Every structure is written in C-alpha cells, then in structure tokens.
Structure 1
Amino acid sequence: MNYCSFFVAGTAALWLASTGAYATGVVPETSVVIVEQDDGEGAINVQNTDAFPVLLLTRLIDIPDDPETLLIVTPPAARVEPGKTQRVRFIMTSKEPLKTERLKRVTFDGVPPQKKGKSEVRTTVRQNLPVIIRPAGLERDLAPWKQLTWKVNDNSLTVNNPSPYVVRLGQGVQTLPDKTRWILPNAYVLPGQTLTVTPEGGKTMGVAQQVRISPATTWGYTVDTYDQTLSR
C-alpha cells in the first residue's frame, strides 16, 4: 500500500471509529465526469450539503473490460466544510493518443467526524459516477447509441458497437412487437464491443422487428427511449 492509500484508509478509519449509525453524503455537480485528452485533465465540483465538515474520499475504479490505468485523481482526500465545495481533478497519466473513448468509474464518500462522547456513527452515502475519457480531436456525438447494431438469431440478441464512442444505456432492453425482455451484462457498450444475451427468465422470444433501449448521453442528459430496427 502506498503512502497516499495508507493516509486515506487510516484517516477514514479514525473518523469512523464508533457505534450506531445514520446517513450523510456529498453531492457532485454533474452525473458524469468528462476528461478531454486535448486538455490532459477533467474536473468536477463536489459539495458538502451537510451542517458539519466531512472528509471527502475520492477513488478511481477500473471497469473489468478496461483495466488500464489512465488517470490519477487529486486530491484523493480533502476536508470540506459545511456548504462548501471541493474541486476534484482527474489528470491523464498516459501520453499515448487514444483511438476511442474509454470508461472508468469514480466514487465519492463524505465521511463525517466522530462526535465526542456519542456512541454513534454517521454513515456515508456513496456517489458512484462514470468517467469518460475522450480522445484528442474526436468529434462530439450527441446520440452515439444510434450507431449500435442489433440483431436476433436463434433466441439470442446481439449488440455491436462499431463506433469510437462509449454508449451508456439501461441494462434492460425490449424487443418489439413481441415485448421480450433482455438484460445486458453492463450499463454500457464499449467501442468495438459485441455482447450477446438470451431472453430474461429463459423464455422463448416471439417475432421481433425492433429493439427499444433507454440510452444516456455522454454528458449525462436524460433522453427518451429509442427504437431501432433489428437486422438478422
């Protein structure tokens, strides 16, 4: 364990030493973190909305499909006073030009101080956000899910992402008009990735012509469901 990890873990343990519990938390300003390779970094503001100071702990997480370390976060731990905001930076460590968007995740924990003489702990509410790293010069696509290709074959549904964009969407999708439900393994389809699933509950699909998905934009905006024609 390096010094930084030891400091974060040790400080959190000291602040949490007690018994009993009730909840608290911190609030990021957006629902996704964007890091532009052109800039070499990205940032997000995290506010302490509580009436007491908290220790803001920030941790980057590699997804199983992409374990390569591309970022560091600073500061990994910071005291944030009531009502105040802490800016957290995500700095690129790789100088190699990226060819596609990359996906990581980040967690924010607001750890409250122990109350002296009180046998209680204020537990944290963890915020878990996606982090999208965008290659230098890559054009913005406000609807990257339209580039997905979907097909059905032998009671299976396959989705492929031929684009350079990370596509985020709800794991539950539905084929139409048979209304068969399918569950994707993740809430994203990475660039170049192909996923194949079978109907939820082991059912047999009916006649399907379209697939209905619930996508999310790169920048976290809510959009309507989207219907796309299936290929075979």
Structure 2
Amino acid sequence: MVAACASCAVGLGCFFFPTDAHADEANSTAARIEFLEARIKTQRTHAELWWEGWVSFYTIGAGVQLVRAAGAPTQAERVDQWIGFVKAIGALMRFSLDPYGGIRKLEPVPGGRPESLDARIARAERILEHNASRTQAFGAWYAHVANFAINGTGTIIVGAGFDDWKQGILSGALGFGIGEVVLLTAPWEADDDLSDYRKGSWQLHASAGSIGIVGTF
C-alpha cells in the first residue's frame, strides 16, 4: 500500500512507504534470534578456549612437576614439586566437575525434529539466563580467597616445614598468580548479554529493516 502526500508550498512534496505490520514483526523475530544465537555462540567459544586451554596447561604442569620431583636435589624442592603436582591435579578435578564453566551452547533439537522459531527463541532465552547465572566477572570473591589459602598453605609447608622460605614463597606466588589468571579469564559475557537482551538491544537490528523510504521533490 502506497500513501502519498503533497504540500501546497512552492513545488515541494513528499511521499513515503509505511512499513507493513507483519514485516515489522518478522524483522523483530529474526533480530531477536540472531542476537541470541550470536551472543550464546560467543559465550560458548570463550568457555571452550578457556576450559580446554587450562586443562591442557594443568595436565602438562602435573607431568612436569612429577618429573621434577623425582630429580629434585633437596628435600624442600622435592616437597615443593609434589605440592605443585597435587595443586595441578586438584585444578584438573575442578575443571572436570564443571566442564566449560557451565556455559551451554544452543544445540540443534535432538533427533533433528523441526522447531518453530518461537520455540527456538524460548529455548535460547533459557540458555542465556542459565549462562548468566554461571557467570561472575573476575570470579567470585571466595574463589580468590581459596586461591590465596591454597597457595599460602603450600608456602608455609615448604618454608616452615623444610626451612626454605625462598622456594616456598616463589612457588606460592607463582601458583597464586596463575590461579588469578584462571579466574580473571573465565567466561564473563553472559551477564552483560542478558542485560542487553532485556534492554531490547536486539531491536536495533530490527529497526534497520523497518525504516520507511522517504523522499522529497
């Protein structure tokens, strides 16, 4: 449907094509699912890189600590290497109990069953909310406390128990630093993505497809 208007001013007029309500709704729905799919994919990609990277790091680290413990020249160094091995195994256990930090991806419907667009949007919304519930930027405060306590305990064991504070402090500081990097690089996007979704940021994509054409002559 085309609507036209003319101005009585000297030789000026305008015409425009109002958008169709059904087209607006289709644009809105498409923009919503596009937003959800893109954000969830980014969250999961980050989670996979983070989880698989650190699992590989701690697996290699555990092996290195074990070899170094066998050839350590002093008892303090041997104990220090065993402590490092135990910490690496503990980290691997934690990662294995919480794959990808609990961040889910938007997978196809099992069995390849057809899924309506509304149903896919509803499922994606649930995944986004779940991922946000598992996300805390920079890590929970108690995780940082636990990291300090674990590495501090190792420092005291080597320093006080085997009279090698230098070795204990160096290893404890290194372990604490690595633990902090793990926490600070954990997936952080889902909280902000959920906030953006609830604010209607996806509507920016929809509005681009629903602007009428305006001209003057």
- TM-score, reference length from structure 1: 0.17
Where is the strand percentage greater, Structure 1 or Structure 2? 1
Greater relative contact order (CA < 8 Å, ≥ 6 in sequence): 2
User: If the length of structure 2 is used for normalisation, what is the TM-score?
Assistant: 0.18
Structure with the higher helix share, 1 or 2: 2
Structure number with greater Rg is: 2
